[in-house]
């Protein structure tokens, strides 16, 4: 429902919501005690639960099946302002908080894997193991088509590239302009640079390709032109490695689409990950995984209930499908849920509900 703190869960105890949902709906204080009881082992079990929910949802129709699967991996900063939180530290942006790592599905925005890390953790910490677990999870979930991983430069290492190649994954990995890379870029003939037509008029962008350690390296360079050129007259280079064999313009354009992972991060920060509610690291780790499961449930509701629609922000889906004001009445031993007349998105709700109810029970 968009809660960003433990106290917000009190919403589920209001009115007759408890009767509608059923089950155990504890008070916020009890939820806090429940979270603090989690250990590292419990968090790993929750992580397995996240993987199992993905498997079941994909089998129910939300998965890519034999179609292409594109996965984006990135880290982000979860700011914390308390002074007693375990694992909190200052990271590269000089902000105090945690440094989670996240893998999301590009075409749906669902979270495929997540791991909470200490604030002082380097961006590449645990990257290889994280990707190993991601590869295994996607395989168990039943994705059999082409698979592409698009991480940022913190994932650039030979071990990870080797794991991806062994698993028959395609990759498109940003790399840093460090020793050896500028020299390879300088060797590219000026005549081979291709100008991109979709760049703003106050600048210029070109792409070209070469090799680095025997692997295909595509380089994008940009600069300002006209009056703005005085601010930054030189070319700026953005290289990445890939094992794809498609045309350079297609590969480069799809590599830039890695930025869609920020939309998933935005949605998570717009709800539970706006805050980390506990002073204990294990409790906040559990909170992170649980928030991703809740986020995925919203995404799967749209994927299965409203197939073919544009991917919308989680806030929009909550407002249109989940946060509908209603009233429960009981007549002839039956409960009836009354929803408001002329709800602007009633057709989406009416269309999605029977599709979700018709899903077979998976065991």
Largest CA distance in the chain: 82
Contacts of 321 (CB under 8 A, 6+ apart): 301, 302, 305, 345, 348, 349, 352
* Confidence at residue 52, expressed as pLDDT on a 0 to 100 scale: 96
* Confidence at residue 330, expressed as pLDDT on a 0 to 100 scale: 84
Integer Rg of the chain from CA: 23
* Confidence at residue 363, expressed as pLDDT on a 0 to 100 scale: 60
Topology of the domain comprising 38-297: Transposase Inhibitor Protein From Tn5; Chain A, domain 1 (3.90.350)
Q: By the 8 A CB rule, do 234 and 182 touch?
A: no
* Confidence at residue 201, expressed as pLDDT on a 0 to 100 scale: 80
* Confidence at residue 25, expressed as pLDDT on a 0 to 100 scale: 74
Tell me, letter by letter, the H, E, C secondary structure of 137-194: HHHHHCCCCCEEEEECHHHCCHHHHHHHHHCCCEEEEECCCCCCHHHHHHCCCHHHCE
Strand 215-224 and strand 334-338: the pairing is: unpaired
Give the whole-angstrom CA distance, residue 309 versus residue 91.
38
C-alpha distances in Å from residue 183, one per residue of 61, 186, 210, 234: 48, 5, 11, 17
**Domain coordinates of the chain in residue numbers?**
1-26, 38-297
For the chain, 363 residues long, the average pLDDT of each consecutive 10-residue run is 69 70 74 88 95 95 94 91 78 82 94 92 88 96 95 91 96 91 94 90 90 94 78 86 95 94 93 86 93 93 88 87 84 86 89 89 68
Q: Across the strands, what pairs with 97?
A: 79, 89
* Confidence at residue 139, expressed as pLDDT on a 0 to 100 scale: 96
Q: For residue 288, which of 152, 113, 132 has the smallest C-alpha distance?
A: 113
* Confidence at residue 71, expressed as pLDDT on a 0 to 100 scale: 97
Write the pLDDT tens digit of every residue in 309-347: 888 888 888 888 888 888 888 888 888 888 888 889 999
* Confidence at residue 225, expressed as pLDDT on a 0 to 100 scale: 80
Strand 101-105 and strand 111-115: the pairing is: antiparallel
């Amino acid at each position: 429902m968009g809660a960003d703190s433990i106290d917000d869960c009190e919403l589920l105890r209001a009115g007759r919501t408890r009767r509608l949902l059923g089950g155990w709906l504890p008070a916020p204080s009890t939820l806090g005690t429940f979270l603090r009881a989690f250990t590292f082992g419990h968090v790993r079990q929750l992580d397995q639960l996240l993987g199992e929910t993905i498997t079941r949802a994909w089998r129910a129709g939300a998965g890519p099946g034999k179609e292409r699967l594109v996965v984006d991996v990135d880290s982000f900063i979860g700011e914390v302002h308390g002074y007693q939180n375990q694992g909190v530290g200052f990271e590269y942006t000089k902000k105090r908080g945690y440094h989670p790592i996240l893998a999301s599905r590009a075409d749906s925005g669902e979270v495929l894997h997540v791991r909470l890390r200490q604030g002082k953790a380097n961006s590449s910490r645990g990257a290889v193991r994280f990707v190993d677990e991601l590869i295994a999870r996607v395989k168990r979930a039943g994705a059999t088509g082409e698979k592409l991983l698009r991480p940022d430069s913190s994932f650039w290492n030979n071990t990870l590239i080797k794991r991806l190649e062994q698993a028959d994954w395609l990759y498109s990995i940003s790399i840093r302009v460090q020793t050896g890379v500028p020299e390879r870029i300088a060797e590219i003939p000026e005549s081979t640079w291709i100008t991109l037509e979709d760049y703003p008029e106050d600048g210029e962008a070109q792409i070209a390709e070469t090799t680095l350690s025997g692997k295909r390296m595509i380089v994008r360079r940009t600069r300002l032109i006209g009056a703005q050129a005085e601010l930054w007259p030189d070319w700026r280079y953005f290289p990445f490695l890939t094992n794809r064999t498609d045309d350079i313009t297609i590969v480069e354009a799809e590599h830039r689409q890695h930025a869609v992972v920020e939309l998933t991060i935005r949605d998570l920060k717009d709800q539970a990950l706006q805050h980390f509610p506990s002073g204990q690291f294990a409790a906040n780790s559990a909170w992170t995984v649980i928030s991703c499961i809740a986020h995925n449930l919203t995404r799967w509701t749209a994927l299965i209930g409203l197939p073919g629609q544009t991917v919308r922000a989680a806030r929009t889906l909550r407002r249109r499908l989940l946060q509908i004001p209603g009233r429960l009445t009981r007549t002839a031993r039956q409960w009836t849920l009354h929803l408001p007349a002329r709800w602007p998105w009633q057709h989406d709700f009416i269309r999605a509900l029977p599709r979700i109810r018709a899903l077979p029970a998976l065991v």
